[in-house]
A and B are shown apart, each in its own frame.
Chain A
Amino acid sequence: MFHRMASPEHFFAGARLWVFWLYLLGVTGLAIGSAWGLFFVPPEKYQGDSVRIMYLHVPAAHLAQMIYIAIAVAGAIHIIWRLKMADVFMAAAAPIGAITTALALISGIMWGRPTWGVWWIWDARTTSVLILFFLFFGLVALRQAIGRRERAAFAVSVLAIAGAINIPIIKYSVEWFTTLHQPASIELGRNIAIDTVFLLPLFVNLASLYVFVAGVILANMRVDLVNRYQTTSWVSEWFRNN
């Protein structure tokens, strides 16, 4: 099945169904998880209701890093096998990764405000997510700056791989550097009572966000395919019948 999906035309047709189901599953999952987290979970001892932000912040932050790793893998695939679909994935996933990271950042800030009374705290994870946002922004900006698609694909692949290699290094140096200055920094989400009543909605939301964003990336890839292959027969045929 994978080989068939590697050809743009088959992918374009096949992805349509996937997008529908991923959207459906993702949205309902998110609705259920969020509703559960907002209304049916008792407030936490220390943080009260602000802990409910965790159900959006943790999935978004986790997903953002996964998207970047996926883009780096696609970059490696593109450089080694020159697979066009890998570049289509990178072009589609980068902006979405940036927006997911932005969502993670904003929810992190809004969570930090009630718990620590300050808008931004240079905690190890918030700093890493902020740098991740700049990495995503770099990917999008580099692709925008290079006109020729071939060069853009190669350049973005190299940058994605360089960035991915740096993620652990950044995490290590930031972790060490921030704990150097505030010994008692509270890790977001680590000190909450880890009993299941809190965690179930989190897993539901995490899985649903993955599913939903996967659908969004596939849909975005279809748009990119139409842009790239405007002159081909199967695209004009698609234009004709809808």
Chain B
Amino acid sequence: MEIKNTAGEGHIVIEIVGSLDSTNVSQAEEKIIPFITDKACMVLDMGKCNYVSSAGLRLLLMIAKQLAAKGGWLSLVGVCDDVKDVMEMTGFSCFFKTYNTLPEAFEALKKGGMAKC
């Protein structure tokens, strides 16, 4: 697993590469937590993440909840079909907004912000 912070249209974009499971969740958590700041809009780019285990899903949910508590939010991008399936069947999908591509996510974030006003 590898975590990269890339810039993207004023949002925090974090790319997760490889698999996210119990062997590396605490590492991932350490790296991501500093980005959870007030009103942060975080986009996790999972396009290169091929597997998310139960522990990994829990980390994602934890991030989403912490962001929400600070008035921000989390979107997932490029989640592969297998992981999407598991998220759907176990109910994790109910807590995330998912998009196919980064531009789609940015577009939605823009609209979400607008509609809110």
Q: Do A and B come from one complex?
A: no
Q: Which residues of A contact B (CB under 8 A)?
A: none
Q: Which residues of B contact A (CB under 8 A)?
A: none
